[in-house]
Amino acid sequence: MIQIIKSNKTQFEYDIQALLKSFYPEWEPRMLAPDSEVRDKRILEGEPVMELLFGEDEVTLEMLSSLHKYTWQPQEPAGTAEYKNAFKRFFYRCLCEETGTTLPWGNLTGIRPTKIAMTMMEQGKSEEETAGYLKTMHLVSVEKTALALDITKREQQILSTLHYEDGYSLYVGIPFCPTTCLYCSFTSYPIGAWKKRVGEYLHALEKEIDAAAELLRDKILDTVYIGGGTPTSLSAQELARLLAKLRGAFDFGHVQEFTVEAGRADSITEEKLRVLLENGVTRISVNPQTMKQETLDLIGRRHTVEQVEEAFHLARQIGFDNINMDIILGLPGETAADVAHTIEAIKALSPDALTVHSLAVKRASKLGKWIEENGATAYNNTEEIMEIAARGAADMNMVPYYLYRQKNMSGNFENVGYSRENKYGIYNILINEEKQTIVALGAGSITKGVFPGDRIERCENVKDVVQYMERIDEMIERKRQLIK
């Protein structure tokens, strides 16, 4: 449902739209200047729901749909971070009053709430000062503030042995899957259509591996993560080829964690698992997303609950002692009882880590179209459902160790990684806290360089597989310029 917001300034457009989507997930806000002409008939049908006017001494927000008018007289200098934060508090409180609800993360619209706590505590702020800042400046709930502090302290301990300045981590992307899930927006192509060209893709990837290894020969490699897509959609022989190339090109002498997303149960075989273990992989994921068969069928995961259980038991029998499982809360049609069933089934398997995702509706996914056809109420996540997952993790002796948020998350909650002691996914923390350079290889991957002074720069590889293969020299040159 498209809604028009008229404003005489655009500098807070992202924050305005993000907060509106948090309170009104069915909206597609469009920002227009007050004197704009609306020519698009589809937009014209959505009458303006608010008008936001910034004056020198006063900001007014008029909710045209409810005839409510709010005013704010800023005490902070315009153009400063303090002014922006104060405006977000004002706008958030207006929306709370309009809807009669509050958000668990207050007016925070960024994806890394723990980074605020991490930065403050590294600057010497106490837990009390940090908690007070989150609650007062960003109106974060007491429960989420406590969660952020708990995770921040744990992250600091886990990351204490890493080489921030003279080290890096490595990501390798395999952009193939058995099928594309309804909610997926990652770079992923059905493996069936690409089987004859996988060797060509690996050839390009090997060229990028060699170039990256040469660029980073004087740096310490801390963690390696192979994701996608579903890496185990490759054959056992193709996996062996890739892993042998990585181990031959890079020095694994200091690697603390080597993760491969096994992911889909319909891609896992005994032969592939043995290849992973024999090549030093220390951590894998076997991801059901749900243990309700009807939901698996709906979201396009063409495997059964029984296959998930069989794949997990097979990985244990072969010798993997660090297995993560992912689930998604808020999947279409799922209730609290369905989530409780999933948690009980996972508890029976007893993985070493559990990653709990709140469903995020991405424009690039098929889910957006599904919601258009079925309505926004067809998927839902609640505090009760989040608590079911948290209690299940605690029952398995797991603690929360990393957290991040995404746009358009069901219930405006978060993704949380839970783990037993010493089974943490170190790479997961690094990608969110931006403490170390992560060099990313493969189609659709993004290298993130972390430099002195908290400067962060990125370079992207093209998403299209054919373009990646044809332009591999350009991808390498992008990386060379960033790392150099």
Top CATH class of 162-477 equals alpha beta
pLDDT tens-digit map of 242-288: 999 999 999 999 999 999 999 889 999 999 999 999 999 999 999 99
If you write DSSP's letter for every residue of 392-435 in order, what string do you get?
HHHHTT-EEEEEE--TTBGGG--EEEEE-TT---HHHHHHHHT-
Q: What pLDDT was estimated at residue 426?
A: 97
Stretch (H or E) spanning 325? strand 323-329
Please tell me the distance from the alpha carbon of residue 461 to that of residue 479, in angstroms, as a whole number: 9
Q: Residue ranges per domain, the chain? A: 1-101, 104-146, 162-477
Please tell me the distance from the alpha carbon of residue 24 to that of residue 94, in angstroms, as a whole number: 13
57 SS3 class? coil
Please tell me the distance from the alpha carbon of residue 357 to that of residue 345, in angstroms, as a whole number: 17
Q: What pLDDT was estimated at residue 356?
A: 97
Stretch (H or E) spanning 258? strand 257-263
Residue with tokens 């979201």: 299
Is CATH 2.40.30 what the domain over 1-101 is classified as, yes or no?
no
Residue type, 299: I
Q: What pLDDT was estimated at residue 411?
A: 73
pLDDT tens-digit map of 300-315: 888 899 999 999 999 9
Helix axes 198-215, 472-483, angle to 10 degrees: 20
Q: Are 105 and 113 in contact (CB under 8 A)?
A: yes
Residues with Cβ < 8 Å from 298, sequence gap 6 or more? 182, 331, 332, 333
- Where is pLDDT greater, at 299 or 156? 156
Please tell me the distance from the alpha carbon of residue 69 to that of residue 437, in angstroms, as a whole number: 47
162-477: same fold as 1-101? no
